[in-house]
Amino acid sequence: MLLEFTNKGIYCPQAEVYIDPWKPVAKALITHGHSDHAHWGHRHYLCTKSAMPVLRHRLGHDMKIESVDFGAYVNIHGVKFSFHPAGHIIGSAQIRVEFKGEVWVVSGDYKTENDGLSEPSEAVKCHTFITESTFGLPIYSWKPQEEVFHDINTWWRQNKEDGKVTVLSGYALGKAQRIIQGLDESIGTIFTHGAVENVNEVIRNQGIPLKPTVRVIPEMKKEEFAGGIVIATPSALGSPWMKRFLPYSVGIASGWMRLRGARRRRSVDRGFPLSDHADWDGLNSVVEATGAERVFVTHGYTTTFSRWLSEKGIEAARVETQFEGELEEIGEAATQQPTTSNQEQETSNRSPESSNQPPE
């Protein structure tokens, strides 16, 4: 095979490079900057130009990181590699691999909705496609982000009228910036957790405009947060850091909020189903658009999605990797995500052929 699945990651033996490896290697091609795809310790890194600043921020400026434009070809020992937009976060890429007429695409993580911030995803034709399936069940179907942000801004406005600070959680890289761009800044000030603001600074230094934000610092007085919204990391929820905002209302923006009970398990007031991953229809549309004859499913609901593709006549199989999808965003609610979950087993008993729409 052109690419192999090893205990270090996805490996191209002809080029002697790995794609998103999770153990230290000599040469690593990186789809994007999230920690489950971009690990520290590789000797050389290659990514897109718009992903490189975040990688340097996360991995250290002394790391050997090179970058390429989207669509540009890199020839390594006769193998042609190119990076194509995945739409997941800024700089995220699908990596196309071609050798002697055979083409594979490693998608990393991706979403099909144009969020107005990330480079919009592109379908890349290939013979073999390696896909995620973080939300690979028919129950996952996203509303347009405009509707989600309308709900978020309405909630924020109501909290302001009720004398509460609004706290909304999202992953520091990608989700937080998407949230910020969707907020109605006329309602009040947008405050940020330090980890979020550090990423904001990296992105602004790239020349990418973000709406004005204010870093939360210890010296701030309680009254300064009145009527505002705080964009926090998932780990900050329930920590002593939150006490400064009392009284507050807490929400989570994550695809896992589509699950019944996820909000209750996290003890938050509101859940907004906003994901940087493709939903069920998105996954299916991308696989179809690639024209792939063979599909490997790396993380998420791998059993259900690979079986569904097989039933459609596509050669499909699940493979074990250390990629996590949105696990970090929701904590224990994401424990329903692995392939052994009751949710997948129950949904698997209903044939997807009956409907491409999620049951209500």
Looking at 272, 296, 324, which one is the last position of a domain?
A: 272
Looking at 272, 296, 311, which one is the last position of a domain?
A: 272
CB 115 within 8 A of CB 145: yes
Query: Domain with 294 in it: what CATH number?
Result: 3.60.15.10
Instruction: Report pLDDT for 326.
Output: 73
Instruction: Report pLDDT for 324.
Output: 86
Instruction: Report pLDDT for 263.
Output: 57
Distance separating alpha carbons of residues 149 and 212, to the nearest angstrom: 17
pLDDT digits (tens, 9 = 90+) for 89-108: 999 999 999 999 999 999 99
- The answer to whether the peptide bond before residue 247 is cis (omega within 30 degrees of 0) is yes
CB 318 within 8 A of CB 332: no
Same domain for 166 and 263, yes or no, is: yes
| Pair of tokens at residue 304 | 């259900």
Query: Domain with 241 in it: what CATH number?
Result: 3.40.50.10890
CB 48 within 8 A of CB 69: yes
Which portions of the chain are predicted below pLDDT 50?
330-360
Q: Is residue 359 part of a domain?
A: no
Same domain for 206 and 318, yes or no, is: no
Instruction: Report pLDDT for 267.
Output: 74
CB 107 within 8 A of CB 295: no
Distance separating alpha carbons of residues 79 and 76, to the nearest angstrom: 5
Instruction: Report pLDDT for 293.
Output: 97
Q: Is residue 151 part of a domain?
A: yes
Same domain for 88 and 59, yes or no, is: yes
Pairs from 314-317 (Cβ < 8 Å, separation ≥ 24): 314/287
Same domain for 282 and 268, yes or no, is: no
Looking at 272, 293, 315, which one is the last position of a domain?
A: 272
Same domain for 289 and 244, yes or no, is: no
Same domain for 69 and 86, yes or no, is: yes
Instruction: Report pLDDT for 260.
Output: 66
Q: Is residue 229 part of a domain?
A: yes
Domain that holds residue 261: 145-272
Q: Is residue 156 part of a domain?
A: yes
Which residue carries 């698997």 as its tokens? Answer: 348
- Reference 34, options 331, 302, 322, 341; nearest CA is 322
> Whole-model pTM?
0.90
SS (H, E, C) 286-354: HHHHHCCCEEEEEEECHHHHHHHHHHCCCEEEECCCCCCCCHHHHHHHHHHCCCCCHHHHHHHCCCHHH
Q: Is residue 199 part of a domain?
A: yes
Same domain for 151 and 264, yes or no, is: yes
Same domain for 214 and 68, yes or no, is: no
Which residue carries 């290659």 as its tokens? Answer: 46
Same domain for 70 and 110, yes or no, is: yes
Distance separating alpha carbons of residues 266 and 237, to the nearest angstrom: 9
Same domain for 11 and 62, yes or no, is: yes
CB 245 within 8 A of CB 166: no
CB 306 within 8 A of CB 295: yes
Q: Is residue 69 part of a domain?
A: yes
Same domain for 252 and 210, yes or no, is: yes
| Pair of tokens at residue 135 | 């939300």
φ/ψ of residue 297, rounded to 5: -110, 120
Amino acid letter, 245 = F
The answer to whether the Cα torsion of 84, 86, 92, 94 is positive or negative is: negative
Q: Is residue 360 part of a domain?
A: no
β-partners of residue 128 are: 104, 294
- Reference 305, options 340, 344, 274; nearest CA is 344
* Number of domains comprising the chain: 2
Which secondary structure element, helix H or strand E, spans residue 97, and what is its range? strand 93-99
Same domain for 149 and 73, yes or no, is: no
φ/ψ of residue 316, rounded to 5: -140, 150
**The 44-48 sheet, strands edge to edge:** 4-5, 10-12, 17-19, 27-29, 44-48, 65-68
